[in-house]
Amino acid sequence: MKGLKTLLVILALFAFNLHHAQDQASTTQELSLDKGSIDNQFEYIYKKSGNYRADGKRYEVVRIISLDKLRRNVMDTLTASNKKVAELNATISGHEATISSLNKKLEETSNSLTSVTEEKDSMSLLGMPVSKITYNVILWTIIGGLLLFFLLFVYKFRRSNTLTQDAKTALAEVEVEYEDHRRRALEREQKISRQLQDEINKYRKSK
């Protein structure tokens, strides 16, 4: 039983070591100085380097050609990074200029909107700008004054018309009374004239 357990443990360790060795081989095969990131290239150099100990210290032995290639790759990467940084700075500068232009246009638009709003909220009265409220107050005051004047005129007209009608009525009554008085006076005059003629006739006959 113990022998079986020991055998199983040995097989498990062997399988683990084999899998680990395959992973390392696969990783080493994937690493290269011709592709991949700088970190992977340094890992490749580390994997490919030899080592030895001297004076109790561990040293890594790296091929000069590999170091030169890694150096060129690092310089190329730095150059590309600097170029990318320059492009990004140029893009940022362009964006800042665009933002500045947009802010300027926004300020101009805001000022124009404020001016339009002020013009919308104001009216021109006799060439002078006044607020809408003041304009409306003045306008409705004028309309109210004209309406009051019109009502006063209508009242005066009706009162004058009434007085005229009353005067005409009074005049007509006076004319009627005058005609009546004149008729009675004429009748009295005619009566007196007849009486006087009768007296004259009587006096002639008595002679």
Reported as a single tens digit per residue, the pLDDT across 43-76 is 887 777 777 676 777 777 777 787 788 788 888 8
| 138 contacts: CB under 8 Å, gap ≥ 6 | 125, 130
| Count of the separate structural domains present in the chain | 1
Is residue 175 included in any domain, yes or no?
yes
Cβ neighbours, 10 Å, residue 43? 16
Is residue 118 included in any domain, yes or no?
no
Is residue 140 included in any domain, yes or no?
yes
| 162 contacts: CB under 8 Å, gap ≥ 6 | none
Is residue 193 included in any domain, yes or no?
yes
Is residue 205 included in any domain, yes or no?
no
Q: What is the pLDDT of residues 112-143, one digit of tens each?
A: 888 777 666 666 666 676 677 787 888 889 99
Is residue 166 included in any domain, yes or no?
yes
Nearest in space to 123 (alpha carbons), one of 112, 109, 138: 138
What single letter denotes the amino acid at residue 115?
A: S
Q: How far apart are CA 15 and CA 9, in angstroms?
A: 10
Token reading at 143:
């309309």
Range of the domain at 146: 131-197
| 132 contacts: CB under 8 Å, gap ≥ 6 | 121, 122, 123
Confidence of residue 154 (pLDDT cuts 50, 70, 90): very high
Structure pTM? 0.38
Is residue 191 included in any domain, yes or no?
yes
